[in-house]
Structures are given as C-alpha cells and as structure tokens.
C-alpha cells in the first residue's frame, strides 16, 4: 500500500475509534436516563422518584387483575419476579394487556405506595408462534415446571 493511502486509512480508523470512545463515555454517564422504565424492585427499594411522574415496567401477576366498582378503574399487581407493586388505572387498556403480560405504566406513587397510572402500554415479547403451537407448549409446561 502506498504511504499516503496507509496514512489516510490510519486517520479514518482513529476517527472511528475516537467517535466510538466518546459515544461510549457519553452513553455510560447517561445510562440511567436512557432506561425507559423503572422495575418494581427499584420502586420498593425507593430508587424511583417519590412525587414525580415516572414509568414502571413489569409483568402483570396472574389472577391479580380486579375491577373494584362499576367504572373503568382496574387494579392489578406488577412484578419483576422479586418485588410486587400494586397499580391502579382508569381508562382503556391496549389489546395485548392480559395477565402474565409485560406492561409499562406511566404515572406516580400515592401515599399508600400504590402506583396511580395515567397511561398503560403493553410490552410485546419477541415470541411469534401459531395458536396451536402455543396450546401444545402449554400442555407440556403444565405437566412439568410452570414458567
């Protein structure tokens, strides 16, 4: 390779490496801000903001969804498989909302440590399969350990 070309190649490599390092440091320092939601463990341990709006993510515990009263109000428990948080929401739930489904709620904690949600979004998982396959998977897991 000619010296001039080699020099340009090295210069380009240095530029890309430099930009990568700078970005890595920037992302590292903003790491917490880039998290889209807090986990339920964060909330129980008091890491989430006390009197401000924030997002809470977790899985809806099976059998925890209840509708006290006649209105649109729905109450359910979220978990990250270690700590639980109760959520209350008044409004229309997205299609994918169901027990055992991951969701992200936007709102704030009240004094009783209940999360009052203003918005509930369903978090879709990365699994795609036909209903028949899902049914046969369910039959297998009910006989063994349940997920």
Partner 1 sequence: MFLIPNAVVRFFHRMASPPHFYAFTDKVMPWLIISFVLLTGFGLYGGLYLAPSDYQQGDSYRIIYIHVPSAWMSLFIYMVMAISGAIGLVWRIKLAEIVAISSAPIGASFTFIALFTGSLWGKPMWGTWWVWDARLTSELILLFLYLGVIGLYGAIDDKRVASKAIAILALVGVVNIPIIHYSVEWWNTLHQGPTVTKMDKPSIHVSMLIPLLLMALSFKFYYLIALIQRIRIELLQRERNAQWVKAKVLELRL
Q: Which residues bind partner 1 (CB under 8 A)?
A: 5, 8-9, 12, 15-16, 19-20, 23, 27, 31, 34-37, 39, 57, 93-97, 104, 119-135
Residues 6+ apart with CB under 8 A from 142: none
Minimum CB separation of residue 31 from partner 1 in Å reads 8
Output the CA–CA distances (angstroms, integers) from residue 38 to 50, 127, 140, in the order listed.
13, 23, 33
Q: What is the dihedral of CA 37, 62, 125, 33, to 10 degrees?
A: 10
Minimum CB separation of residue 104 from partner 1 in Å reads 6
Report the relative pairing of strands 115-122 and 102-109 from DSSP bridges.
antiparallel
Minimum CB separation of residue 120 from partner 1 in Å reads 7
For partner 1, the closer of residues 70 and 147 by Cβ is 147
Minimum CB separation of residue 50 from partner 1 in Å reads 20
Say how many CA atoms lie within 13 Å of 4 toward its Cβ: 0
For partner 1, the closer of residues 47 and 124 by Cβ is 124
- What is the length of the chain? 147
For partner 1, the closer of residues 34 and 52 by Cβ is 34
């Amino acid at each position: 390779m000619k010296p001039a070309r080699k020099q340009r190649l090295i210069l380009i490599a240095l530029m890309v490496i430099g930009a990568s390092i700078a970005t890595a440091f920037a992302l590292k320092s903003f790491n917490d801000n880039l998290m889209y939601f807090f986990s339920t463990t964060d909330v129980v341990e008091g890491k989430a903001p006390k009197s401000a709006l924030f997002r809470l993510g977790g899985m809806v515990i099976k059998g925890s969804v209840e509708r006290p009263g006649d209105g649109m109000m729905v109450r359910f428990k979220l978990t990250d498989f270690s700590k639980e948080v109760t959520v209350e929401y008044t409004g229309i739930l997205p299609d994918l909302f169901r027990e055992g489904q991951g969701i992200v709620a936007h709102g704030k904690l009240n004094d009783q440590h209940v999360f009052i949600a203003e918005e509930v979004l369903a978090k879709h998982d990365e699994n795609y399969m036909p209903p028949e396959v899902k049914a046969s998977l369910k039959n297998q897991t009910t006989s063994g350990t349940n997920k």
